[in-house]
Amino acid sequence: MTAQVLKFKDEENWGPEFGVEVAAIMRDFVARKLAPLQIAIAALEAKNARLEAALAEKVPIKYLGVHRPGATYW
């Protein structure tokens, strides 16, 4: 991992503009780090929706009481 060297517009005058620059750098960094996670979450949500739809098409489980020897359950 390489260090990122930051150069600010006016290094001698660290007023409110400095805070705005730092916030923008942090916002961009977080956005870059979150992008792959957002893609993975979207893929998982899509997979979950497909699985839920497939499950909804299946015959629902019906409770038939306690086990009785010799009984057919399907």
Q: What does the pLDDT read at residue 3?
A: 65
pLDDT of 5-46, one tens digit each?
666 666 666 777 778 888 999 999 999 999 999 999 999 999
| pLDDT higher than 60, residue 1 | no
The DSSP-derived string for the chain is -PPPPP--S-TT--SHHHHHHHHHHHHHHHHHHHHHHHHHHHHHHHHHHHHHHHHHHSPPP----S--TT----
CA of residue 61 relative to chain centroid, distance: 32
Q: What are 40-62's pLDDT values in tens digits?
A: 999 999 999 999 999 888 877 78
Distance (Å, whole) CA 8 – CA 17: 9
